[in-house]
């Protein structure tokens, strides 16, 4: 077996390999199209979003680009391709590509629903490549991947209630009351891969403490990879990391940024953790 893995730019990746292909997700801000990592940094995205009266618009990855990659794989000697893209709960891309799985003669193609994005999606990609390097079969890899998907999630403390109003997730009245009461919603990825409210906590200090408690609850029955994720809030992320380490939850945990796809949903100032089970 020779396996190619294809993902999208919402995944946080720490590797580059010739058997790893990444589809770009464009973002449109005030009528201008950007590609994160090419003509837009994460910091610039949050600056431009803050100064824009309308929310950025994120597009799906290119179907044509995916087709081009899949078409080229057989010539390069690949026998299998696995596409790991952002959750069907926040993008229609997963549904739109399923028909492609049967289009490439001599190439076994699978597109599972990861039900996640960002750092945990990157963890999945890197784990699949590790299993392939170890010589595991495609069936073994898919079995382990399904186990990983079932226990992968993220919890997010949202700072900007007004941003949730812009995105249609909260009414103006609820945001006004929430701001008066210093409400900090904690969102999470559901089993269906959607982003929904998990709890509403008063004050940021209590919300960060609650995030720590949730992380301990979520990881008590297993071994997990953990990442701290933030929306242009590095100091909050460092503070959260310090609290986690003082509580004995991991050490030297990675801190990464939410890109434009999730940043558009959450707004600036969000802090989160993502977890994915360690499956040998």
Which pLDDT tens digit goes with each residue over 16-62? 999 999 999 999 999 999 988 788 888 899 999 888 888 888 889 99
Distances (CA, A) of 58 to 29, 98, 165: 9, 21, 18
CB neighbours of residue 175 within 10 Å: 19
CA–CA dist 269, 97 (Å, integer): 33
Between strands 153-157 and 195-202, the pairing is: unpaired
Share of the chain above pLDDT 70, in %: 92
Q: What is the pLDDT of residue 163?
A: 63
Paired residues of 274 in beta bridges? 154, 227
CA–CA dist 179, 105 (Å, integer): 56
CA–CA dist 280, 270 (Å, integer): 32
Burial of 62 (C-beta count, 10 Å sphere; 0-12/13-18/19+): middle
Paired residues of 230 in beta bridges? 257, 271
Phi, psi of 120 (to 5 degrees): -65, -30
Residues 6+ apart with CB under 8 A from 164: 158, 170, 175, 185, 267
Q: Are 161 and 183 in contact (CB under 8 A)?
A: yes
Whether the pLDDT of residue 179 is over 70: the answer is: no
Whether the pLDDT of residue 230 is over 80: the answer is: yes
Distances (CA, A) of 54 to 9, 260, 264: 23, 14, 10
Which pLDDT tens digit goes with each residue over 102-140? 999 999 999 999 999 999 999 999 999 999 999 999 999
CA–CA dist 82, 84 (Å, integer): 6
Q: What is the pLDDT of residue 161?
A: 67
3-class SS at 253? Answer: coil
């Amino acid at each position: 077996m020779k396996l190619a893995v294809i993902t999208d730019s919402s995944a946080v990746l720490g590797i580059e390999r010739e058997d790893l292909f990444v589809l770009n997700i464009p973002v449109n801000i005030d009528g201008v199209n950007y590609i994160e990592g090419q003509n837009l940094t994460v910091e610039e995205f949050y600056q431009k979003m803050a100064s824009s009266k309308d929310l950025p618009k994120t597009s799906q990855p290119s179907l044509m680009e995916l087709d081009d990659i899949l078409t080229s794989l057989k010539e390069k000697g690949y026998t299998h391709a696995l596409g790991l893209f952002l959750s069907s709960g926040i993008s229609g891309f997963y549904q739109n590509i399923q028909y492609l799985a049967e289009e490439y003669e001599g190439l076994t193609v699978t597109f599972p629903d990861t039900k996640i994005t960002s750092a945990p999606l990157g963890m999945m990609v890197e784990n699949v490549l590790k299993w392939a390097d170890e010589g595991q079969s495609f069936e073994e890899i898919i079995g382990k991947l399904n186990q990983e998907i079932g226990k992968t999630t993220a919890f997010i403390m949202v700072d900007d209630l007004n941003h949730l109003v812009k995105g249609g997730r909260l009414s103006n009245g609820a945001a006004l009351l929430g701001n008066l009461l210093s409400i900090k919603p904690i969102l999470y990825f559901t089993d269906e891969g959607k982003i929904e409210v998990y709890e509403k906590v008063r004050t940021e200090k209590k919300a960060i403490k609650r995030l720590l408690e949730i992380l301990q609850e979520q990881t008590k029955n297993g071994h997990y990879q953990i990442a701290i994720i933030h929306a242009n809030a590095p100091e909050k992320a460092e503070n959260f990391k310090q609290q986690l380490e003082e509580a004995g939850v991991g050490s030297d945990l990675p801190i990464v940024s939410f890109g434009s796809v999730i940043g558009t949903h959450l707004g600036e100032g969000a802090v989160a953790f993502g977890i994915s089970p360690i499956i040998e």
